[in-house]
């Protein structure tokens, strides 16, 4: 970090831990990198591999080509499916075209997919708690026949839902939701439908929960919080909401050049965290930029240690 002159104002940075990359994001990025090494460029990726422009641009520079639909992938080149998961129709279409594909779906999202299949096989209608249009929601709905799943976005949705068979319901959730908001929706569903089947274990992933807990830990001690992440990153947006719910103003930024120093004019203690698809290099970039205007005292506040790692697909394990 650049040494700031003594005349600069002081600021304390409380940096949340855990923050940044989770195991699923790390695995997805490595899958694209290894695929480029194995097959050579270009390797096509359907949808942003993770929701972060810096990561996407870095992979583009290495030979990845990002597209929204499989129709945009030429014949004869490999394609990677993003960490958010895809409907079953997508790999089926890839196979019908003879495309080599690699599935970078986070294993924790895949776990939700399998649970959805099992609940439908058991004859239950699924209430899926999530955000309309998010790629993970689209992918999960695409695992089961149309009409077997209903999206629930709010407590109001939970209160309004009218099932054909109140005793034949199950619920599942998107992995990147607000822990507190989801608990309120689940409570409403369980009150209205006591027989509803809950998922085995928690659907909201460990990384989402851990990052929200870490933000809660720093927010109470801060005047403001910056969350590094993309505006289309569900887990990053939830971190902003968690801070604000604790009574601490928060903003989402993607890079250091988005820092609003006027907003920081009265801030003496600033919280800093990063969503699960934001690399640590962006955290350090923000700290360095703040250090150009302030004398920075940097403290890390650790609430959990993450040791989870996921295996790579067969054929990509070793270089």
**C-beta of residue 274 within 8 angstroms of C-beta of residue 25:** no
Distances (CA, A) of 291 to 3, 4, 19, 251: 7, 6, 20, 19
How many degrees, rounded to 5, is the angle at CA 209 between CA 166 and CA 83?
A: 85
DSSP state of 88: T
Beta strand pairing call for 101-103 and 149-152: unpaired
**C-beta of residue 193 within 8 angstroms of C-beta of residue 170:** no
d(CA 255, CA 234) in angstroms, rounded, equals 17
* Active-site annotation holds for 136: yes
- From 136, 153, 302, 306, the catalytic residue: 136
DSSP secondary structure, 218-255, as one string? HHTT-SEEEEES-TT-HHHHHHHHHHHHTT--EEEESS
Give the number of residues written for the chain. 319
> What is the set of active-site residues?
136
């Amino acid at each position: 970090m650049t040494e700031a002159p003594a005349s600069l104002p002081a600021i304390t940075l409380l940096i949340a831990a855990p923050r940044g990359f989770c195991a699923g994001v790390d695995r997805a990025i490595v899958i694209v990198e290894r695929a480029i090494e194995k097959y050579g460029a270009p390797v096509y990726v359907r949808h942003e591999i993770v929701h972060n422009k810096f990561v996407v641009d870095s992979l583009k520079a290495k030979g990845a080509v990002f597209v929204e639909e499989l129709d945009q992938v030429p014949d004869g080149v490999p394609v990677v499916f993003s960490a958010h998961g895809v409907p079953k129709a997508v790999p089926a279409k890839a196979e019908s075209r003879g495309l080599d594909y690699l599935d970078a779906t986070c294993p924790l999202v895949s776990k939700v997919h399998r649970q959805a299949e099992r609940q439908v096989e058991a004859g239950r209608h699924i209430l899926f708690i999530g955000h309309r249009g998010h790629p993970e929601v689209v992918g999960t709905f695409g695992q089961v026949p149309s009409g077997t799943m209903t999206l629930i976005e709010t407590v109001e949705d939970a209160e309004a839902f009218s099932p054909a068979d109140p005793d034949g319901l199950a619920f599942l959730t998107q992995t990147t939701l607000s822990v507190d908001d989801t608990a309120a929706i689940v409570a409403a569903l369980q009150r209205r439908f006591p027989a509803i089947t809950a998922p085995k274990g928690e659907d909201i992933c460990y990384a989402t929960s851990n990052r929200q807990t870490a933000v809660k830990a720093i927010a109470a001690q801060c005047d403001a919080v910056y969350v590094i992440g993309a505006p289309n990153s569900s887990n990053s947006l939830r971190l902003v909401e968690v801070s604000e719910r604790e009574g601490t103003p928060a903003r989402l930024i993607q890079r250091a050049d988005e820092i609003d120093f006027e907003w920081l004019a009265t801030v003496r203690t600033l919280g800093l965290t990063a969503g699960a698809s934001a690399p640590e290099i962006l955290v350090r970039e923000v700290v360095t930029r703040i250090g150009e205007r302030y004398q920075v005292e940097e403290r890390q506040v650790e609430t959990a240690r993450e040791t989870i790692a996921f295996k790579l697909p067969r054929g990509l394990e070793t270089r």
